[in-house]
Structure 1
Amino acid sequence: MELLDRDGLYAENPEGEGTRYPGVFTAGLLYSIVVFLFLFFGTMAQSINFYSGIIITETALILLPTIIVLAISRYELKKVLRLNKVDLFNLFLVFCIMVFSIPVAGMFNIINIWLVDHIFGRSIIVQPPAATNLEGLLVNTLTVGLVAGVCEEVFFRGAIQRGLEKLGVAVSITLAAFLFSIMHVQFERLLGTFVLGIIIGFLVYRTNSLFSGIFAHFLNNTFGVLVTFAANKLSSISGPASFEQNVEVTELESFFEIFGDMSAEQMLAVIVLWIVTIATCVFILVALLYALVKNTKKEAAKAARREKVKKWEFLAFLPGLLLIIAMYFLQGIALKGFGSQAAKIILELIGA
Structure 2
Amino acid sequence: MPKNKNIPSILETNILFLFIALSLTTLGAFAQYKNIYIGLLITEYIIILMPIVLYLKFNNYSINYVLRLNKINLKQILLTILIVLFSYPVAVFFNFIGITLLSRFIEIQPTPLPLPSNLKEYVLSFLIISLTPGICEETMFRGLIMSSYDRLGKKKAIIYSAILFGLFHFNVQNLLGPIYLGILFGTIAYKTNSIYATMIGHTVNNTIALTIGYIATKTEQLVGLSMENVDLPEMEQMIIAILGLGIFVLVFGFISFKLIKLLPTGEKKEVLELNTFIQGEYLTRELYKKDGMNMMEVFPIFIIVVIFILWNYKLLFI
Residue in structure 1 matching 2:233, options 250, 256, 260: 256
Asked if the contact 2:106/2:315 (under 8 Å) is kept, the reply is no
1:206 aligns with 2:187: no
Task: Please list the CA deviations of residues 101-120 of structure 1 after superposition, one character each: whole Å capped at 9, or x if unmatched.
Answer: 100011101001012122x3
Contact 2:193–2:266 (Cα < 8 Å) also in 1: no
Residue of structure 1 in register with 2:181 after alignment: 196
Structure 2 counterpart of 1:195, one-letter code: Y
| Percent identity (aligned) | 28
Question: Against the structure 1 CA distance between its residues 272 and 116, is the aligned structure 2 distance closer, same or farther, given a 3 Å change threshold?
Answer: closer
Deviations 1:290-323 (A, max 9, x none): 112xx217448679447126854x5245245424
Distance change >3 Å, CA 310–CA 128, structure 1 → 2: closer
* Residues 58 and 104 (structure 1), Cα distance of their counterparts in 2 relative to 1, 3 Å cut: same
Mapped to 2, the partners of 1:271 and 1:25 lie a distance apart of 40
Q: Unpaired runs of 5+ in structure 1?
A: 6-10, 13-19, 244-248, 338-352
Cα deviation for residue 133 of structure 1 reads 0.9
Contact 1:31 1:317 in 2 (8 A): no
Q: d(CA) in 1 for partners of 2:248 and 2:150?
A: 35
**Distance change in 2, residues 1:181/1:51 (3 Å):** same
- On the 8 A contact 1:94/1:216 being kept in 2, the answer is yes
Q: Distance in 2 between matches of 1:173 and 1:298?
A: 19
Rounded Cα–Cα distance in structure 1 between residues aligned with 2:289 and 2:157: 12
Secondary structure, aligned partner of 1:126: coil
Moved more, 20-29 or 319-328: 319-328
Q: Does the Cα contact within 8 Å between 1:100 and 1:284 map onto a contact in 2?
A: yes
The 5 A counterparts of 1:58-77 are 58-77=44-63
Within the candidate set 154, 179, 189, 1:169 is matched to 154
Distance 2:96 2:262 in 1: 29
* Residue of 100, 103, 122 corresponding to 1:114: 100
Shift of 1:329: 3.3
Q: For the residues of structure 2 that align with 1:180 and 1:199, how far apart are their CA atoms?
A: 12
What SS does the corresponding residue of 1:22 show, helix, strand or coil? coil
Cα distance in structure 2, aligned partners of 1:274 and 1:126:
22
User: In the alignment, is the contact (CA less than 8 A) between 1:29 and 1:317 conserved in 2?
Assistant: no
Structural RMSD (CA): 2.5
Match of 1:160 among 120, 135, 145: 145
Q: Are residues 1:55 and 2:41 paired? A: yes
Secondary structure of the corresponding residue to residue 87 of structure 2:
helix
Number of equivalent positions: 305
The alpha carbon displacement at 1:132 in A equals 1.2
Contact 2:10/2:148 (<8 A) preserved:
yes
SS in 2 for 1:58: helix
SS in structure 2 at match of 1:84: coil
Residue in 2 aligned with 1:223? 208
What is the distance in 1 between the residues matched to 2:121 and 2:221? 15
- 2:281 is equivalent to residue 307 of structure 1: no
Structure 1 residue 328: deviation in Å?
2.0
> Which residue is equivalent to 2:254?
283
Task: Please name the residue that 1:143 is paired with.
Answer: 128
- Give the whole-Å Cα distance in 1 for the aligned partners of 2:22 and 2:110: 22
1:206–1:299: 8 Å Cα contact kept in structure 2?
no
Verify the 8 A CA contact 2:67 2:195 in the aligned structure 1. yes
| Structure 2 unaligned blocks of 5 or more | 272-283
1:133 and 1:42 map into 2 onto residues whose CA distance is 26
Q: Distance in 1 between matches of 2:88 and 2:194?
A: 21
1:126 pairs with 2:108? no
1:326 to 295, 304, 307: 307
TM-score using structure 1 length: 0.79
Between 1:129-138 and 1:300-309, the stretch displaced more is 300-309
Structure 1 residues 259-307: Cα deviation after superposition (integer angstroms, max 9, x where no partner): 54x9xxxx86x66643331121011111111112xx2174486794471
Secondary structure, aligned partner of 1:132: coil
Return 324-333 or 180-189, whichever deviates more: 324-333
Distance change >3 Å, CA 286–CA 155, structure 1 → 2: same
Query: Counterparts of 1:250 and 1:307 in 2: how far apart (Å)?
Result: 54
For the 8 Å contact 1:122–1:335, the answer to whether it is kept is no
Distance in 1 (alpha carbons) for counterparts of 2:311 and 2:78: 42
Distance 1:304 1:107, change over 3 A: farther
Give the residue type in structure 2 aligned to 1:296.
T
- The equivalent of 2:66 in structure 1 is 80
SS of 1:129's equivalent in the other structure is: coil
* CA–CA distance in structure 1, aligned partners of residues 265 and 52 of structure 2: 27
